[in-house]
A and B are shown apart, each in its own frame.
Chain A
Amino acid sequence: MTPEQLARLAAELDDVDVVHNGDKWPIKGTRAEKRAERAVAAWFVLSALAGLGFVVAFIAWPHQYVSPYEPGYTMYSLYTPVVGFLFGLAVLALGIGVVAYVKKFFPDEVSVQQRHDGRSPEVDRRTVMAQITAAGKDTGIARRKLITRSAGAAAGLFGLGLGVAALGPMIRNPWKGGNDAALWVTPWRPENGETVYLRRDTGILTEISRVRPEDMEPGSMETVFPYRESERGNEEALLHAQRASDAPVMLIRLRPGTPTVKRAGQEDFNYGDFYAFSKICTHLGCPASLYQSQDNRILCPCHQSQFLAAEYARPVFGPATRALPQLPITVDSQGYFVARNDFSEAVGPAFWERRP
């Protein structure tokens, strides 16, 4: 049988009836056909050129950072668009070429396939089942209990391992450590009696710049992080102190003579005009650091809560209901700001076990 006959036989065996199969180009070699062929080829050529251009641009285009006011900035700033455009064009033109080829050259065919009845014939079903049973009997798997059970144990424990690996990280006890649980304490907590300094971030991790009162003008604000002398040079500890979500503190120097109201029990938490408040909003934990130096309001950008820095950072507007926790600070004998203790309450948004 010829290949065409075989193909037709295959269709018949599948109950497919080709009703109509018309060639798109019944007369070969017309100008229209040539034009269609060239159009499809043009897409592929475009794709090839774009692919080549992508490789060249990826390797040769200047990609090192150039600041906008130096020569060569335009070329540098076009690196990503050029690479992305050429890569995208290569993929898109290839796809359009394939679709255009299908649309222009595949024959118009209408085929009908008969729908089979719901289940296989009785004889097929019974023979297939008999075959499987016989295969099981021939390999002896039914008799070899040791292999069945050990294989079952292996597969089952592997599945259990997958499940533990996927779910394990989600299971955590937030109250591990009792009163020292993560939600209650912050990196400001003194450990082993070591002094906790207030440190500014200079953009260089290992450059330690401790804050002193004379560094700040009246009407200024600075974000500070905890620092211990034992952490000097320890990049991991320094980074943790800067990245921990409950560590950032706003150190605010009010203008002299600003009338202030202090919270009961926290009368000595400030140092002169210097007040240190947690930067974490008590509503939903955004960094509330929009300090307005004229009216001493601290704004949270997420839900427009406002806190009064001159009145123990109590909320005066918006959804926050609790004051920003205040860090007790003082100045040590060398003139550096130090934290006297951790916050006296949990920082950040409320949680179930938190006492109001």
Chain B
Amino acid sequence: MTSQTTESSPPPAPRNRRPHGKFRRRFAGALAIGIGLLAVGVGYDVVKPEPQQAVAQDNAALVAQGQQLYYNNACITCHGANLQGVENRGPSLVGVGDAATYFQVSSGRMPLARQEAQAMRKAPLPQFDPNTEEGRHNLDALGAFVDANGGGPQVPAQTGVALRGDDPARGGQLFRLNCSSCHNFVGVGGALSSGKYAPSLDPASEEQIYTAMLTGPQNMPKFADRQLTPGEKKDIIAYVKSVTNGNNNPGGNPLGGLGPTSEGVIIFVVGLTAVIGFAMWLGAKN
């Protein structure tokens, strides 16, 4: 995919003034040694044998670490020591899987600040920030622990831009059929009953949109892989990413993304004022 390579390629380094003579030779030598070392390192990494036995060990260690995180981050308060849930506090987590854990914790919805109509998106706990190495590892560990108790939907293997499909037009059709009734046609969200709401999709990452479709957080219905195939989910993500966060907004101001109502009011007020002003200038005597 072209977008992938362009996204991941580093920006060109600022052009320095050319070092002269000795400096230049020294610099070239250092660069050659650096490239050599790097090539050897990468080559070793590719060639070295995979430690087959250690994987299972790693997973057990990961689950154990996830259990510690589960106990230490107040999850246990509402979901119980054995993930069975606590009456009037939190639901059972048996069978919700890795994907639900990733969505709820990485988007800051869990741990819950207080009991209310629905969990709100907020900044994730620093130890679960999906933008840091440690956060991703801790999310993996917590997910592995929850997954070890009843299985459930999995976080997709791909991440980031790799989760965007190639057909945003088809994604748009599927989005308007399956998602837009609650999330609005450009994903700005909308109200539901009794204080609940469908959130805006602007801050959601590709992984979060994917895992949300898979697990149906809060009042959202679930979209299993046989209902919306992984390819269809990726097309939907491509569409969402192409219209949210100020994209597809050539006019400069989305006016709330509400469609003809706000746009009509603005063109009526601003446009009519301009037309009246022009008419007055036409009729004015010097």
**A residues apposed to B, CB below 8 Å:** 67-71, 77-78, 80-81, 99, 103, 200-204, 212, 214-223, 287, 289-295, 297, 299, 301, 304, 306, 317
Q: Is the CB of A299 within 8 A of B221?
A: no
Additional pairs, 10, CB under 8 Å, beyond known A216-B227, A292-B193, A301-B190: A67-B3, A67-B238, A67-B241, A71-B6, A77-B248, A80-B250, A203-B171, A223-B177, A294-B219, A317-B193
Chain B positions 223 through 265: 1 when the CB is less than 8 Å from some CB of chain A, otherwise 0: 1101100001001001001100001111100000000000000
Enumerate chain A residues within 8 angstroms of B6, measured Cβ to Cβ: 70-71
In the complex, B182 has a CB within 8 A of chain A: yes
Q: Is the CB of A67 within 8 A of B242?
A: yes
* Residue in chain A with minimal CB distance to B174: A203
Q: Is the CB of A217 within 8 A of B222?
A: yes
Q: Is the CB of B170 within 8 A of A204?
A: yes
Give me 26 A-to-B residue pairs in the complex whose CB atoms sit less than 8 angstroms apart, sorted by A's number: A67-B168, A68-B241, A68-B242, A68-B248, A69-B7, A69-B161, A69-B241, A69-B242, A77-B250, A99-B281, A200-B227, A203-B173, A212-B226, A216-B226, A217-B222, A217-B224, A219-B221, A220-B221, A220-B222, A223-B177, A289-B181, A290-B192, A290-B198, A292-B193, A294-B219, A301-B181
Enumerate chain B residues within 8 angstroms of A81, measured Cβ to Cβ: 250-251
Q: A67-B238, A99-B282, A287-B181 are in contact. Are A220 and B216 (CB under 8 A)?
A: yes
Q: A290-B192, A299-B193 are in contact. Are A69 and B170 (CB under 8 A)?
A: no
Interface hub of B174, B223, B227, B248 (most chain A Cβ within 10 A): B227
In the complex, B220 has a CB within 8 A of chain A: yes
Q: A67-B168, A203-B232, A220-B227 are in contact. Are A293 and B193 (CB under 8 A)?
A: no
Q: Which of B227, B248, B249 contacts A222 (CB 8 A)?
A: B227
Interface residues of B in 176-205 (CB under 8 A from A): 177-178, 181-182, 190, 192-193, 196, 198
* Residue in chain A with minimal CB distance to B215: A217
Q: Which of A69, A214, A221, A306 contacts B193 (CB 8 A)?
A: A306
The 7 A-B pairs of least Cβ separation, nearest first, read A68-B247, A215-B226, A292-B219, A203-B170, A217-B222, A203-B173, A220-B222
Q: Is the CB of B286 within 8 A of A219?
A: no
* Residue in chain A with minimal CB distance to B168: A67
In the complex, B16 has a CB within 8 A of chain A: no
Q: Is the CB of A201 within 8 A of B248?
A: no
B142 → chain A closest CB, angstroms: 22
Q: A68-B242, A299-B192, A301-B190 are in contact. Are A217 and B170 (CB under 8 A)?
A: no
